[in-house]
Amino acid sequence: MKKITILLSLLILSSTMLFAQEDTTETVKKVKKGFSFGGVPVVAYDSDVGFKYGLLANIYHYGDGSRYPAYDHSLYLEWSRTTKGNGANILKYDSERLIPNIRTTLEASYRTEKALNFYGFNGYNAHYDAKYEDEQDADYISRAFYRYERNVVRLKADFQGNIIGKKLRWIGGLTYMGSEIATVDIDQLNEGKDEADLLPDVPGLYDNYVDWGVISQTEKDGGNVTLLKTGVVFDTRDNEPNPNSGMWTEALFLVAPSFMGDYEKTGTALILIHRQYFSIFPKKMTFAYRLSYQTKTGGNIPFYLLPYLYDSYDIRDGLGGAKTMRGILRNRIVGDGMAFGNFEFRWKVLQTSVFNQNFYIALSAFTDMGRVVDPYKQDLSGVPTAERELWFNNAPEAWHISYGAGVHFALNDNFIIAVDYGMAAQIEDGTSGIYIGLNFLY
């Protein structure tokens, strides 16, 4: 799937402006007060979902500047669309000042995915072969074969308070997620295409899983879920957006009560995440790593909740893709329990001031890895023998590995445009990917 991202031109323009300025690496940074705004247009192209357009913006309020680069209030807004119907409408608010001595994080969003990646469950146990998506291959099925449609409403409220200063904090929260799942709308994806580019109207992997009973009739259309979260966070980072030293560790417990959702048994999960940062050259080069373990501890987790990872601030797509394992297919690794690690060197190659704004460019080199550690229990009794031998237990699960590099453009330390390029080590995980978004991964 080819992607053309015009946003790169904006990044090149920004770097040109930077190099036209005198390098002021040793200059004391300007303290920011009051409001600061960072925003970029989003313009991208995807051959199946069309052009993507919209706006990402982050508004910060630094108060009197005494806490800079920490902010008093942050408001993140994203509005984006594609010409084939995908979209994101996101509003996030984060503050340590709204409620005294309590960090408040709120989100309201609606996200639509006309062709979400779906490769089955349990990593390498689920058969993936790129030839089924390759129109030039004799075994081609459809470019939408490993896809289904998902629309999600998310409402979230998280709170953190101090136990021992700001280093040790408690966390509690509530999240509502309303998910609608369906087979890919081939007619919509085919709108405006030449006859030679039309997607064939054939069943996808998701449709087969439903027909075989691997995905149950009670879960195939999605449902409503309310998640209750509690836990503790230990945080000694020196700078939240791009730490040079310290650690950030959290232990979370999730409960999805059956009486607050569309499922039979109350589900519970445990999440452990450890991040640590080492300053190799002060204010210049940092080594950072993240280790994460997430597993079901009881009850039932619907299949449509499996491709998510949870932490103290966010809910993101599961293993594979922009936010977890760059270069590996999005949601390639899905199970009841998953573990992954990221290891990254970050080097600030230029620090300067542009139009009275603090600005820096950082380069990075990374490797990502992850695997299923607790397999999702599948009912294969309805799968024909030949299909079972092809699509299930294809290979024993093992570590999925990728590696790559990135560049980051930071405005006033908090607004960071990130460009990462990752490559998968095994063809069963894909080939490569380029990702343009906001902030460092962790």
88/110 Cα distance (integer angstroms): 6
Identify the pLDDT of residue 170.
97
386: left (phi over 0), alpha (psi -120 to 50) or beta: alpha
Q: Classify strands 168-182 and 3-5 as parallel, antiparallel or unpaired.
A: unpaired
Report residue 104 as tokens.
């408040």
pLDDT for 314 beyond 90: no
Q: What residues make up the domain containing 402?
A: 3-438
Which tens digit of pLDDT belongs to each residue from 267-298?
A: 999 999 999 999 999 989 999 999 999 999 99
Dihedral of alpha carbons 371, 375, 379, 383, sign: positive
In the block, residue with structure tokens 């503050």: 95
pLDDT for 45 beyond 70: no
429 close to 402: Cβ distance less than 8 angstroms: yes
Work out the pLDDT band at 38, boundaries 50, 70, 90.
confident
pLDDT for 124 beyond 70: yes
In the block, residue with structure tokens 């997430």: 294
439/432 Cα distance (integer angstroms): 20
Residue (of 48, 19, 192, 64) closest to 113 by Cα position: 48
3-state secondary structure 202-216: CCCHHHHHHHHCCCC
pLDDT for 47 beyond 50: no
73 close to 93: Cβ distance less than 8 angstroms: yes
pLDDT for 4 beyond 60: no
Once rounded to an integer, what is the mean pLDDT over residues 6-35?
49
List, in order, residues 6 or more apart from 86 with CB less than 8 Å away. Answer: 49, 52, 112, 113, 114, 115
Identify the pLDDT of residue 84.
63
Which tens digit of pLDDT belongs to each residue from 346-375?
A: 999 999 988 888 899 999 999 999 999 999
CA distances from 217 to 107, 108, 209, 223, 365 (A): 31, 29, 10, 12, 44
138: left (phi over 0), alpha (psi -120 to 50) or beta: alpha
- 14: which DSSP letter? H
pTM flag (> 0.95): no
Identify the pLDDT of residue 1.
43
Helices (H), 96-139: none
pLDDT top residue among 175 and 433: 175
Identify the pLDDT of residue 162.
95
Mean pLDDT of the chain: 88
pLDDT for 430 beyond 50: yes
112: domain CATH number is 2.40.160.50
Which tens digit of pLDDT belongs to each residue from 214-273?
A: 999 999 999 999 999 999 999 999 988 889 999 999 999 999 998 888 877 889 999 999
Once rounded to an integer, what is the mean pLDDT over residues 317-340?
93
Dmax (CA) of the chain: 69
pLDDT for 6 beyond 70: no
Identify the pLDDT of residue 16.
35
429/332 Cα distance (integer angstroms): 7
β strands within 327-381, DSSP E: 337-354, 357-374
Identify the pLDDT of residue 46.
43
Q: Give the number of domains in the chain.
A: 1
